[in-house]
């Protein structure tokens, strides 16, 4: 197996492992991974549109709409009209959504710690630096 193929396989499997651990640990009871990603994305952000959310998730706005609608319905996010242009609708996290994220952070950190617990601090720092380098060069 060539190195790039092996790298892709390892990254895919780690992502799957993380998603599975988060799901089985009940970190996000009653929420999908996509819903939580939207909440995390909206946390501490202003003037975010549906298109911005869709771009962040690498999906079409029409695919993001049902997920956003569910989060609006549950009171975790809200739609807000732009003061300058009534045609523009912003999506914002509500205090209820922020409270959910704060409550779940401990569970998430515990789960991530379990996955990466075999790495020492130096290895974690190296891994973070490598992943940030890849991320920053591709934005």
Q: HEC states along 43-67?
A: CCCCCECHHHHHHHHCCCHHHHHHH
- What is the pLDDT of the chain when averaged over all its residues? 90
Question: 28 or 77, which is more confident?
Answer: 77
Q: Kindly list the distances between the CA atom of residue 90 and the CA atoms of 42, 71, 116, in Å, as whole numbers in the listed order.
A: 10, 14, 36
Residue 62 confidence (pLDDT)? 92
| pTM, two decimal places | 0.72
- If you average pLDDT over residues 62-69, what whole number do you get? 94
Q: How would residue 23 be classed by pLDDT, with cut points 50, 70 and 90?
A: confident
Residue 36 reports pLDDT greater than 80:
yes
pLDDT at 26 over 80: no
């Amino acid at each position: 197996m060539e190195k790039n193929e092996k790298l892709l396989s390892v990254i895919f499997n780690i992502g799957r492992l993380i998603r599975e651990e988060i799901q089985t640990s009940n970190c996000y009871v009653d929420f999908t991974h996509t819903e939580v990603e939207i909440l995390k994305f909206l946390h501490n952000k202003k003037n975010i549109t549906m298109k911005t959310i869709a771009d962040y998730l690498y999906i079409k706005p029409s695919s993001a709409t049902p997920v956003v609608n569910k989060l609006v319905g549950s009171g975790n996010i809200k739609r807000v009209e732009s003061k300058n242009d009534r045609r523009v609708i912003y999506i914002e996290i509500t205090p209820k959504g922020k409270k959910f994220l704060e409550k779940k952070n401990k569970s998430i950190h515990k789960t991530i710690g379990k996955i990466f617990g075999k790495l020492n601090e130096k290895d974690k720092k190296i891994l973070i630096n490598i992943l940030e380098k890849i991320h920053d060069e591709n934005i």
